[in-house]
């Protein structure tokens, strides 16, 4: 059984995934954040490796990276990038022996739907004592510009139970209950980008949420309402300077 609800959606968006999510600029930034926290002498397991775009940047920095992912569409690209070091597998059932992994990473995995408790139980099983799990959440700090306010409210309304929120406040208690120690955040990286309300509304129409986060029924209405709010903002074609900050959460097996 897969605990992820969005795998067919990831198969569907795989061809355009890299470009629509910041391309190699995002991937290189994530690799720069992760690399100082990784031991280059030991292999890295990338859980939810996707198209392998971040793993490839880690490889370029001297790391040997293996990857697993449930979406064969995403993995097809990872296979091109990483060769036969990738496999179709569930983050909740890792295809590795107990206590065999020294270091694992996940970037933008835990907001997509896998059961957080099951993922952390599996990671705890897989890690060696002293091994670390590094997580870059999708929910870095939220931009506070007018586009960010609309998007933040949309996320909260689509996910009232916060099951897709992947910050320390959500993940640390779950990880600690499964036997990992939360060591805090590291490698904070402020990012500034420019996007207009209308471009954001177009992204929503094109599947920004529908891809990573299946939206149906009432959710579709909420997304449509958010799109209307975005284009009704003053000067909807003028890009806003948006600020957010990505960081790495460090979990360790005692
Ligand atoms: C937003 S993408 C991130 C991909 C990559 N880490 C990156 O930063 O570009 C999330 C990935 O997690 C995968 N995924 C979701 N649930 C999963 C699960 N239970 N097991 C393995 N992979 C999963 C999806 O197929 C998708 O490729």
Tens of pLDDT, residue by residue over 31-61, are: 999 999 999 999 999 999 999 999 999 999 9
Assess if residue 200 is contained within a domain: no
- Asked, for residue 29, whether it belongs to a domain, the answer is yes
Task: Identify the CATH number of the domain in which residue 185 sits.
Answer: 3.40.50.150
Q: Residues 104, 125: contact at Cβ < 8 Å? A: no
**For residue 50, how far is its CA from the centre of ligand 1 (angstroms)?**
5
84 belongs to a structural domain: yes
Token pair of 148, please? Answer: 């960010």
Substitution candidate for ligand 1 out of 11, 112, 213, 248 with most atoms within 8 A of CB: 112
Q: In the predicted model, is pLDDT for residue 140 greater than 80? A: no
Enclosing domain of residue 168: 7-142+162-190+245-252
Predicted confidence (pLDDT) at residue 4 exceeds the cutoff of 80: no
- State which of 70, 86, 207, 213 you would mutate to test the pocket of ligand 1, scoring each by most atoms of that ligand within 8 A of its C-beta: 70
pLDDT, residue 6, reads 47
Q: What is the reported pLDDT for 211?
A: 56
217 is a domain residue: no
Domain assignment present for residue 73? The answer is: yes
Task: Tell me how far apart the alpha carbons of residues 37 and 30 are, in angstroms, rounded to a whole number.
Answer: 12
Mean pLDDT of the 209-218 span: 71
Report pLDDT digits (tens) over 99-118: 999 999 999 999 888 899 99
Residue 245 in this model has a pLDDT that exceeds 80: yes
Q: In sequence order, what DSSP letters do the residues of the chain get, joined into one string?
A: ----S-HHHHHHHHHHHHHHTTHHHHHHHHHHHHGGGS-TTS-EEEET-TTSHHHHHHHHTT--EEEEES-HHHHHHHHHHH-TTEEE-BTTB-SS-TT-EEEEEEES-TTSS--HHHHHHHHHHHEEEEEEEEEE-S--SPP-SHHHHHHHHHHHHH-TT-TT--SHHHHHHHHHHTTPEEEEEEEEEEEEEEE-HHHHHHHHHHTHHHHHS---THHHHHHHHHHHHHHTSSSTTSPEEEEEEEEEEEEE--
**237 alpha carbon – ligand 1 mean position (Å):** 32
pLDDT band at 210 (very low <50, low <70, confident <90, very high): low
How confident is the prediction for the chain on average, in pLDDT?
91
Give domain status of residue 93, yes or no: yes
Q: What share of the chain in percent tops pLDDT 70?
A: 94
Q: What is the mean predicted confidence (pLDDT) over 146-161? A: 88
Residues having CB within 6 Å of any atom of ligand 1:
2-4, 7, 10, 48-50, 53-54, 69-71, 74, 90-92, 107-109, 112-114, 212
Residue 98, φ and ψ in degrees, nearest 5: -60, 135
pLDDT tens-place string over residues 62-87 = 999 999 999 999 999 999 999 999 99
Q: How many domains does the chain have?
A: 1
Within-domain flag for 224 = no
Q: Is position 97 within any domain?
A: yes
Say what percent of the chain tops pLDDT 90: 69
Q: What is the pLDDT of residue 106?
A: 98
User: pLDDT tens across 15-39, in order?
Assistant: 988 988 889 999 999 999 999 999 9
231 vs 217: which has the higher pLDDT = 231
């Amino acid at each position: 059984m897969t605990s992820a609800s969005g795998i067919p959606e990831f198969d569907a968006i795989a061809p355009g995934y890299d470009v629509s999510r910041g391309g190699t600029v995002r991937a290189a930034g994530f690799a720069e954040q992760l690399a100082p926290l990784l031991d280059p002498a030991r292999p890295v397991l990338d859980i939810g490796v996707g198209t392998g775009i971040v793993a490839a940047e880690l490889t370029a920095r001297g790391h040997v990276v293996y990857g697993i992912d449930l979406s064969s569409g995403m993995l097809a690209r990872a296979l091109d990038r990483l060769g036969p070091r990738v496999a179709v597998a569930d983050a909740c059932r890792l295809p590795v022996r107990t206590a065999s992994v020294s270091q694992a990473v996940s970037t933008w995995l835990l907001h997509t739907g896998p059961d957080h408790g099951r993922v952390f139980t599996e990671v705890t099983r897989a890690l060696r004592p002293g091994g670390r799990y590094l997580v870059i959440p999708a929910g870095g700090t939220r931009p506070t510009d007018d586009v960010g306010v609309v998007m933040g409210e949309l996320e909260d309304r689509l996910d009232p139970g916060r099951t897709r929120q992947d910050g320390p406040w959500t993940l640390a208690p779950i990880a600690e209950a499964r036997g990992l120690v939360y060591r805090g955040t590291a490698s904070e990286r402020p990012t500034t980008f420019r996007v207009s309300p209308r471009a954001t509304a177009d992204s929503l129409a094109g599947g920004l949420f529908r891809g990573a986060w299946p939206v149906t029924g009432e959710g579709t209405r909420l997304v449509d309402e958010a799109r209307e709010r975005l284009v009704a903002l003053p000067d909807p074609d003028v890009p806003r300077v948006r600020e957010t900050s990505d960081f790495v959460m460090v979990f360790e097996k005692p």
